[in-house]
């Protein structure tokens, strides 16, 4: 079970705290490959703690032959820009879906989450 994002009493002066989000994402990503829930999984994160999940998913995909495709990654930025933050597992050349400002604007959430309901 995923633990919720926790907000301290003096938020936003003190940052919110998430616990277990990256672990749950990694488990779900690898489990999706094991259970063959998708042909390709795209992991959109710059969190290097998720590299083992990409490596495991890639290994699982390679064991499946043509049945499953290699995992892919996504990142904000431009492929021609050096220093773009994307996940790069050693020894794997994973496709990266580069998303820019126009992509962001199309899915932007304009809700003010600081407003009390």
Domain ranges of the chain: 21-107
Give me the phi and psi of 68, to 5 degrees please. Answer: -120, 145
Task: Report the SS3 class of residue 56.
Answer: helix
Model confidence at 53: pLDDT above 60? yes
pLDDT digits 0-9 by tens, 66-100: 566 889 999 988 666 555 678 989 999 899 999 88
Task: Report the SS3 class of residue 72.
Answer: strand
Highest mean pLDDT among 14-18, 74-78, 103-107, 110-114: 103-107
pLDDT band, very low/low/confident/very high, at 54 (cuts 50, 70, 90):
very high
What pairs with residue 74 in β-bridges?
44, 97
Question: Which tokens go with 57?
Answer: 């998913």
CA–CA distance, 54 with 88 (Å, rounded to integer):
9
CA–CA distance, 108 with 77 (Å, rounded to integer):
16
CA–CA distance, 32 with 37 (Å, rounded to integer):
5
């Amino acid at each position: 079970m995923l633990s919720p994002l926790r907000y301290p009493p003096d938020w936003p002066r003190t940052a919110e705290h998430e616990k277990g989000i990256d672990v749950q994402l990694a488990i779900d990503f690898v489990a999706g490959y094991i259970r063959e829930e998708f042909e390709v999984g795209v992991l959109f994160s710059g969190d290097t703690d998720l590299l083992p999940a990409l490596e495991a998913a890639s290994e699982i995909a390679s064991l499946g032959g043509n049945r499953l495709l290699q995992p892919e990654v996504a990142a904000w930025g431009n492929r021609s820009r050096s220093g773009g933050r994307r996940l790069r597992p050693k020894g794997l050349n994973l496709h990266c879906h580069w998303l820019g400002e126009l992509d962001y604007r199309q899915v932007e959430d304009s809700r003010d989450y600081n407003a009390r309901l």
